[in-house]
Chain A
């Protein structure tokens, strides 16, 4: 017995991983700036009780770029343990250097992550060929599924194109899907046109709560940072889109759009302030981000209070 068939079976199982509705938690910091793991555990439990099919940590909403490598590793280990059998954990391993990201990917697999997700490398604004090579090396470092996070708006325009995704499919058996935050209909359609025939279980996920158009095109998953504020809204929107009840999802999509527009200008600082307003204090962001000042937070509370969609959302933990 070579163990070959079992290995193949394991690989197939891993490849068919469908993330579903993925919550992307904040990272709570204590007053001294360290990760507040006690609060983090409470936050993770909240996500797991309130509709998360999987967790992705630490995404940009979790201030991944402000966490040194050791902290990232401690955080991933902590989340895998806390989630236990309740939900799979997708580890975010993006970095500027390909080798650094690949090492973190290997660590994540050993720590028990179900999959990894990565953006284009920071700072370099790579042309398509460089981005493909970056992803290929990170993906080759592990056997768990790799998801590419395509967010040109956050990454100074750098992105993966459909041709690059097709090259990655050829190189990586574990290239399982793409999380799209380009919001670009032409790209999403082109991607699925090119990739789905070659890899039928390839998953397109929406990278933010702008889900209806993506779901019409064929997205089957969602990465949600707003779930910490409005988990019911996000879950209902996701379920309707998943059931392809797209006309029915429009009102919820408009509600999610309204919430997003309020929080978008302040980024993570607004998200953390909004979480506090909802009774789920996760502290303030780390430098270089500035916390909202008192007046801005008061104004945010007024704006959130005016959203009827938030009335049914849970307050506190």
Chain B
């Protein structure tokens, strides 16, 4: 459950229901990680414990919102989170969305040394140096540490030890996502470049009023999931027409599944 599901606009009770539904419906077909980030750290702890109770495979947690925490505060937060549950914990680094707050390579190394269940990061800086500094520090200490990128920036991250990405566009164009992943892992860089450039055009389309435009795109793909909650706007008919034209231009309507 990540930003694309609008987790910041859900109550804690709703998020628990979502998590329960996800674990039940997926039923072991793939691992389920529950996004436990919340404004209040106490809520994060509660969501993490809940995820463990319901049988989730892991949790994901971003650096605390709003407070611009120092590196020491971020460290204390992850230590408390990881020692309060037995589940694997994925951290989430997103300096551009969180006013520069970030997990550095040094901090990542300290957390790995202290915490056996600190198993990976969703690294969403989209920056050559930040990704390298974390992968360089982390993979030396824990070779199976999961370096994931935010959205689908696989091409620049896989050569540096990236093993995957969180994917919002998977709800729109799963074939493109899988093709990009497969070509990166196989080192087919020419094909990977072509698919990554296409994916990035989609990302620019969806990141405008994210995730409203993503939900708008899902309507066009025959998989409507309703409006977006305030303060986010819901994609207007004009916006949807624009999204449709873009998806058509990118060939998504012809190459991706329609409906459920």
Interface residues of A (CB under 8 A from B): 183-186, 189-190, 192-193, 206, 210, 212-214, 216-218, 244, 246-247, 249-250, 253-254, 257-258, 260-261
Contact = CB atoms under 8 A, between A and B. Distances in A.
Given A186-B200, A216-B193, A257-B136, 14 more contacts: A183-B130, A184-B126, A186-B203, A190-B204, A193-B200, A217-B155, A218-B193, A246-B159, A246-B187, A247-B159, A247-B187, A249-B159, A253-B160, A257-B129
Given A190-B200, A253-B160, A254-B136, A185 B189 contact: no
Interface residues of B, number: 27
A114 B197 CA distance: 32
A246 B189 contact: yes
30 contacts: A183-B129, A184-B127, A185-B126, A186-B126, A186-B153, A186-B200, A186-B203, A192-B197, A193-B200, A206-B128, A210-B128, A210-B132, A212-B128, A212-B132, A212-B156, A212-B160, A213-B132, A213-B159, A214-B128, A216-B159, A216-B193, A217-B155, A217-B193, A217-B196, A246-B159, A250-B160, A254-B132, A254-B136, A258-B136, A261-B133
Contacts, number: 75
Contacts of B192: 216
B215 to A, nearest CB: 22
A249 B159 CA distance: 8
Nearest to B157: A213
A183 B201 CA distance: 19
A213 B187 contact: no
B131 interface: yes
A213 B153 CA distance: 10
Interface string B148-170: 00000101111111000000000
Contact of B132 (A186, A190, A192, A257): A257
Contacts of B204: 190
A261 B129 CA distance: 10
Contacts of A189: 196-197, 200
Contacts of B132: 210, 212-213, 253-254, 257
